[in-house]
A and B are shown apart, each in its own frame.
Chain A
Amino acid sequence: MASDRIFGLIILITAVAYIAAATQIQTNFFSGEYLPKLFPILIGAVAAISSLVLVFKPDPDPEWPDGRTWGNLLVAVIVLAFYSVLIKPLGFILPTAIAASILSYQISPQPMKAILAGVGLSLGLFVVFKFILMLGNVVAYRIPTPAKLWDAISILIPFVGH
């Protein structure tokens, strides 16, 4: 009950904000005054009406994970976020091995197996991507300057990064 109500409220607020943003869309002579705004406003309106239905007629709650699992999920998101910004300055192999090991440990908590899985996946996928599929952008390793490393990590810090 409560989950759907909260979800409905979030959608309602987002929809209202979206409509407000849509009315501020810049237009010019080529696009006409209202055409670029029309469809976004319609979408926001449909979303707002549907969210009201959820607020007043919610479904039963799903089974949410316990506190520990939430922690695990948060760790996974953080690991992936760091992975996203570090794959460029550090290259493919090291970030992939670390990220895959941590994720593997989270699914099945056996440290040795997790490290083996991470290193194996990293090297195996590197060979596949680089030498079989020959994908661009995939570089084995890079040794970044501290400044570059900070640049990459600071992306994840609100208002500091760019």
Chain B
Amino acid sequence: MDTLANLALGFSVALSPYTLMLAVVGCFIGTIIGALPGLGPSNGVAILIPISFALGLDATAALVLMTSVYYGAMYGGRISSILLNIPGDEPALMTTLDGYPMAKRGEAGNALVLSGVASFVGALLATIGLILLAPVLARVAFLFGPAEYFALYLLAFCTLGGMASNNQAKSAIAACIGLGIAMIGVDSSSGLPRLTGGNLHLYDGVDFLVAIVGLFAIAELFFFIESHGKGSSIGVVLDKVTIPWKYIKQTFPTMLRASGVGFIAGVLPGAGASLGSFLAYMTEKSIAGKDGGFGTGVPKGVAAPEAGNNAAAGGALVPMLTLGVPGSGTTAVLLALLMTLNITPGPTLFRDNPEVVWGLIASLLIANVVLLIMNVPMVKIFVKILSVPAWILLPGVTMVSTTGIFALTGSYFDLLMLIGFGVLGYFLRKLDVPTVPVILGILLGGNMEDALRRAMTLSDGDPSYLFSSPIAIGLWIAAILGFVAPMFLRGVLKKPQAVSD
């Protein structure tokens, strides 16, 4: 009953005409962002945070807008996967495996609608899972002291690093770059500057928004300059769109299973949506067996990764909201949004700001319905948007990103840092170093250090305090396993390559 009362509170926040309008606008923009090749949910949300902040929206409105953009981008990502064979972001990669062959066979419309429905089912089930699981986890989280939090942050870096990269050392370096940058600025306890090199601009530290937009959006520009925008023209024609009831009925059990798998993958801190869509696809593939025809354009191969991907996106919100530890790149960006709005996620959020949490959950449900309604009849409009050429799109994205940062801070120094992060992002991605741990490091560095310092103060400098409780030991073991296990499982968990023409 408690849950229902909370939901009612959430809907009372989220169902006002103004926030409803924001949800619709957010879903629309989000779908466009997701559909544009080279722009995924993380950079889409990242570019928009400075702007939504400069707009002066209040916390709930900004949250509704950005979560709608987030969910919208997850939906939109499938459009470029299916029609162009270009995944907008990593989780959408699995959708290309069967979606693109389907589209080439002339079933582009069917694939798009089916994936839309699968996304809806996945996201809806995950949101319900979030409603049930988050308050429970929030209660457990009250048992967490500084030692447990330190181990938890470590776990997030380890699992994220294990999953995100092919080379553990590289993901560890990425995390260290982020954490190292987070240390810059005035130290909270002494009031003295740390590691600023005497530069006054750095006394406030490095704004994580600058880092996120630089690493995601500006780096993308450099990649497009390198490739001269090749591969952004439309490959498959879409004629008429009907609702393929037969496929929906046939793949419904697949969607349910994939949602379950995806949600669990999403809840694991650091694992996130890529793992969700991957596991969902692989599970369905092994259930279908050799005769299932996965990889040749079967409807199940479209439904499974889309449901898994969206369920994982919802699941990733569980650790983000209850523990303040994001489960994926995009939730890291959403965490950045919350921190910009001065909301600290964690167990206290459920107690102190129930209207924010439940408003967010309600807006997720609303965004989901809006997206389903918007996506089936309007899919042709979004497909048109795909044909925006790269020579307009990328300069536009760059200008929107820089202006967003400039409108927020008004400082040339932040813009120069933005470009610096863009260059860093280009080199890191070239060298196969994941950039998400960098972001996570900048976001969580302060909190992680805080946990360590409090632990050291409480124990009078005794390091064994960090392993003093069963929860902490469990988290340490999970962290080490999460970091080491992928090295041995790499052969088993090998990601299938995208189909080539």
Contact = CB atoms under 8 A, between A and B. Distances in A.
A, B: real partners: yes
B349 interface: no
B394 interface: yes
A137 B389 CA distance: 29
Contacts of B407: 129, 135-138
A63 to B, nearest CB: 8
Interface in B413-472: 415-416, 418-419, 422-423, 426-427, 430-433, 448-449, 452-453, 456-457, 461
Interface string B376-419: 00000000000001111011101110110011001010011011
Nearest to A89: B412
B412 A107 contact: no
Contacts of B416: 81, 84-85, 155
A27 to B, nearest CB: 6
A106 B226 CA distance: 9
B189 interface: yes
A88 B431 CA distance: 35
A59 B432 contact: yes
B173 A4 contact: no
A137 B225 CA distance: 29
Contact of B406 (A76, A77, A87, A108): A87
Interface string A132-162: 0111111000000000000010010000000
Contact of A80 (B187, B394, B402): B402
Contact of B412 (A135, A138, A155): A155
A76 B195 contact: no
B211 to A, nearest CB: 16
A54 B169 contact: yes
A135 B55 contact: yes
Interface secondary structure of A, over-half rule: helix
Contacts of A107: 224-225, 228-229, 390-391, 394-395
B395 A118 contact: yes
A18 B222 CA distance: 28
B190 interface: yes
Contacts, number: 208
B297 to A, nearest CB: 30
B17 interface: no
Interface in B188-231: 189-195, 197, 218, 221-222, 224-226, 228-229
B257 interface: no
A100 B183 contact: no
Interface of B: 51, 54-55, 166-167, 169-170, 172-173, 175-177, 179-180, 183, 187, 189-195, 197, 218, 221-222, 224-226, 228-229, 389-392, 394-396, 398-400, 402-403, 406-407, 410, 412, 415-416, 418-419, 422-423, 426-427, 430-433, 448-449, 452-453, 456-457, 461
17 contacts: A7-B431, A21-B197, A38-B452, A44-B176, A47-B176, A47-B177, A47-B180, A62-B430, A73-B225, A83-B415, A87-B402, A92-B403, A107-B228, A129-B407, A135-B407, A136-B54, A137-B407
Given A30-B190, A133-B51, A138-B407, 11 more contacts: A28-B191, A40-B180, A46-B176, A73-B226, A77-B419, A83-B402, A101-B395, A104-B394, A107-B229, A125-B396, A136-B410
For the complex of A and B, 5 pairs with smallest distance between CB atoms:
A31-B190, A84-B415, A47-B176, A108-B391, A53-B169
